[in-house]
Structure 1
Amino acid sequence: MKYAIVDIETTGGYAARNRICEIAIILHDGQKVVKEYQSLINPERHIPPQLSAIHGINDQMVAEAPKFYEEAKTIHELLDGNIFVAHSVNFDYSFVRAAFQDLGYDLKLKKLCTVRLSRKIFPGLKSYSLGNICDDRGIQIHDRHRAFGDAIATAELFTQLVENDSEGIIEKSLKKNASVVNIPENLDRKVFEELPESPGVYYFLNQKNQIIYVGKAKNIKKRVSNHFGGTKLEVAKQAFQSQIHHVDYYLTGNELIALLHESHEIRKNWPRYNRAQKSNNPGYSIYLYEDRRGYKRLQLGRKQTGMKSIIRFPNHASGFSFLNEMSKKLNICPKMAGIQSSPDACFDLKLGLCEGACIGDESLEDHNEKIEKFIEICNIEKSDYLLMGDGRTLSEKAFVLVENGNYQGFGFFDQDESISAWNEFKKYLIQYPDHPEINKILNSEHATKHYKKIKKDAFKSKVEKI
């Protein structure tokens, strides 16, 4: 068995948009180095100054160097049938594989990561960067951050790893390597293997135990594996994976509660790699006020703390649509509903569609009665209800509680429990703050079609009847 120890220098940090500008391959038979190869590569694109400052390779140095396709046959012969070894192997492998894919060939090799091997065979170091571990092991790196210098140092490190591998870590790693799931080098595979195949929320944590990503899943283990599997080479994925040191999770029993809990956790922790739901938009509400004449009026606006709203919405469009529809149905003057603004009469008066509250032609009593009917409709929309679903075990049920149109949280209870009053659910309730995003989830087709809705006025005393 031979090992191809690889190091590359590149024009950027991810393979999808960047290229190799230097490569070194050291063949190792498990005991010693048996062959060496190195070459500058013309990447056929500009090398950014910030990268040149690190590895010292500039456009002039690679101008006359061979292009990758000119070295591809030699590189393939060195790699073919061997085990691809590198320090942070997924980085180097992604670039080499992408280069071959550009030529129409899909490179598929077993891989070993000297970072992950070092963590197990030489535990206890504060850092497993190549420079730090070589200092610790007495390995001198000549020409640091150049492909050949780093590859030779990695080869010497690999020799020491083989010599000190008393527990067969390398062999075990190769067996696990057959899996399509490429576990990030900083994540213990045991942590991944022990993830549940159940609905819930999962967390990726960095070296400082800080949450950097929150996700929800019907099957946590499968969803997490999707982050690591496949052949995607984009920048976010590579940067993302290198920072994952641990995975934690919270079981929810069903996907709806996973969605609700994920939304809360994203807003609570503000993870670096979550883009969706990172909004402090408080949503919109319809407010009631009275003008100087005593006419009650409606106004749609952003939700504000301390102001009592009639009904709220996740965004302006949904609020405006509801307000417009209901005001037409009840024949409320559009100006008094806050839909139109004009100094005098509303536009609908000229069309005979308004009864004249805007200019005082409609009586105060008649107009205000329409507003009260509007409020009644809103109160019906805000009814108290439960959404029932599967719990975390076969004997458990889960529920989401909404009161007066406001999300209260979720909870779990044993199916054998006898609940005789609505308020008894609250002893099982885990309270969470409301938010427009939560409102969107609860009004989504997912929630309304897949979970049993029980209104408070239709509640039956025994849970087993639910």
Structure 2
Amino acid sequence: MYAILDIETTGGKYNEEGITEIAIYKFDGHKIVDQFCSLVNPERKIQPFVVNLTGINNEMLRNAPKFYEIAKRVIEITEGCIIVAHNAKFDNRILTTEFDRLGYDFDKSTLCTVELSKDLIPDMPSYSLGKLVRSLGIPITDRHRAQGDAKATVELFKMLLQKDVNKEIIQASVRKDPKRHLDTKLLDIIASAPSETGVYYMHKEDGTIIYIGKSKNIKKRLTQHFTSDNRKSKKIQLEVATVTFELTGNELIALLKESEEIKTNKPIYNRALRKTLFQYQLASFKDDEGYINLKIEKAHKEKKPITTFTNYQKAKSALFAITEKYNLCQKLTGLHKTSGNCFNYTVQNCEGACIQREASEDYNVRVQLFLDDNSYEKQHMLIVDRGRDVDERSVILIENGNYKGFGFYNLNYQINNPEVLKSIITPMSNNRDAQHIIQSYLKKRRVLKIIPLATDTVN
């Protein structure tokens, strides 16, 4: 749990500043679960430059509560939380100093979104809150007021969590607040899990990730893990201390995140998925007579596949279905090894390309139809689908047929502006598994929309 906050102060000498406004959003890593915002009477004068910056003056604070009057609420809303702020060292010092004046030991772990942003979103022109969120297409209102800045920090932190593919933030959080998890029972973990689509991460007490999975219903899937009596599940049940999760809004991004992060984090109980799953691929070539042939071959990172398969038998079964659907020749798809006509020609289900009775131009039209339906090679497009909230959308970026990554947005401006689009996209690996996941998903399921992009839009 996180307490994302922003504090405005009077300015003045070090450790003599007073709080003039405070805003705190309690955030569970996915949504805001509580919030508190208040002006504060600092019982001292505000520096003129601060008045000009924030618009908060001494007259506005005359009837505002003093800090000791809101201290209990601050303690309540930050209980069990890690403090998150843009320049957390400053905000935490100010808050700790105020509690020191009351004789209360306010001791919290912190995460700084300035430092996190520099690590996870390098090479930005500025890391000041206002300039950074504007560069990322995050709306911000009431700049230099606690509520506006804190809300923008929430949205920034959401994006940072999304970009943290190595799960360093989550693992650090688990380590910083272990008491929340040491005595947690499996039923408590299940009870706190959402019945929504996403990726879940099982941690040991030290924060280490031991298993990553995806599900359209995380709560239901965890119940299966924790009630199973197979050998692996029993080991997980003994070692797991807590489960964190990331909602994705749709299954496609959950599949992509699961595949990518298992390869990145290499959890001990995900051995089967650490390596590339898809060992065979479908390729095409033109023969000496000008016919486009299809063939199954071992997957190779240097060769661009039409689509990929986990094993040879699945590839062969799929190729039989393709041959039938597009009325192709079994000889030219490698399914009937013969020097003469294929079997389908004998039963009048082939137009005779195998013995050049059908012109290559006519035959190739049907092969090309299959290729167009099943490959996005050299395409530039956005795959838009449901997001994590009602007013949010997810977007997957494909450049030149390569999977570049995904992101989430609320405003069409964010995907219509090339620079902002690049900022909100979390970069991902363009491997065979990702290609297969996207291709298979688009063939079997519907997404909200696919937006073709001009080449100069993404370059």
Q: Structure 2-normalised TM-score?
A: 0.46
Give me the TM-score of the superposition, normalised by structure 1.
0.45
